[in-house]
Amino acid sequence: MSRPAGKALAAEVRRAQTGTWVALLLVTVGTAMGVFFVDEDVDPIVPGLFAVVAALEVFLALRWWRSTRRR
């Protein structure tokens, strides 16, 4: 559902959305690093998959950030 054109989001909402993106990224990166450092026998693909997810989240967050700044 889209909001009406010209109606800006409140500062609290933008802060919450930014915080959500940051939390998603920190959880993913933290999990990748935790798996890598805690279990040395783990297959290297596992932390790599978490790193790919983190990179995807960064790209999505940047796209979201750019789209909110254009409005």
pTM above 0.85, yes or no: no
Domain boundaries of the chain, sorted by first residue? 24-70
pLDDT at 25: 84
Q: How far apart are CA 53 and CA 37, in angstroms?
A: 18
pLDDT at 6: 47
pLDDT at 7: 58
For residue 50, give the nearest of 24, 68, 21 by alpha carbon.
24
Token pair recorded at residue 59 = 């790209």
Q: How far apart are CA 3 and CA 58, in angstroms?
A: 24
> Torsion-angle region of residue 6: left (phi > 0), alpha (psi -120 to 50) or beta?
left
Query: 6 by DSSP, 3-state: which?
Result: coil
pLDDT at 48: 81
pLDDT tens digits in sequence order for the chain, 71 residues long: 555 554 566 888 888 888 888 888 888 888 878 877 887 787 878 778 888 888 888 888 888 888 877 76
